[in-house]
Amino acid sequence: MSEKSETVEGVNMLIADTVWYFAYGSNMRSFIMVNRGIKPLEQALVKIPTYVLTFKIFGMPYSEPSMASIANMSHVDVNTVLRRGSPAPLPPIHGIAYLITRADYVTLVKSEDGGSACRDIALEADVFRHAEPDSGTMGPKLTVFTLEAKYPFRPNATPSQRYIVSVY
């Protein structure tokens, strides 16, 4: 890894041949990456204890009302996330960390939105030792890069049924 660094949207990224990308929402589906021409070199099941899944990116009315994003738990309140029933704590976001080339990361950012609605952020992710997130055994930590909405839509819109099915 080179010792040089660059700033992308305010995040100081080490210049390296590869980066860990944190995929959440529909990007966890491997065929999404394949369809974009991205070939992960490795992958790991991870969680980011300080962030939650939100639906705060404007979509297309009726067909795709919102797209997934993430938010720091300290910034989430009743005006951020639509909630029903008693206010139970939101679970931390789980996803897949893909080790990809820097060129593939640039391709991914361009395919998402080219940086117009999202910004790059660096986060610390906990790696699960086993394939089951409920196993409770955590491995090493990874620095992952991902995208977060620049202009959050509040309160969050409801995702489409198609989107929910594709994620879950």
Binding residues for substrate: 21-26, 163
> Distance (Å, rounded) from C-alpha 97 to C-alpha 21?
5
- Determine the topology of domain 5-83+90-167 in CATH: Hypothetical upf0131 protein ytfp (3.10.490)
Q: What does pLDDT average to over the chain? A: 77
The pLDDT confidence band at residue 3, using thresholds 50, 70 and 90, is: very low
Q: Which of 3, 112, 132, 148 is catalytic?
A: 112
Q: What is the pLDDT of residue 132?
A: 58
Burial 90-114 (b: 16+ CB within 10 A, else e): beebbbbbbbbbeebbebbbeebee
Q: What confidence tens digit (pLDDT) does each residue in 4-50 have? A: 444 444 444 556 799 999 999 888 888 888 898 999 999 999 999 99
Q: Which amino acid is at 162?
A: R
Binding residues: 21-26, 163
What pTM, to 2 d.p., does this model score? 0.77
3-state secondary structure of 72: strand
Q: What is the pLDDT of residue 67?
A: 73
Q: What confidence tens digit (pLDDT) does each residue in 106-119 have? A: 888 888 776 677 88
112 catalytic? Reply is yes
Bigger pLDDT: 98 vs 131:
98
**Domain coordinates in residue numbering, the chain:** 5-83+90-167
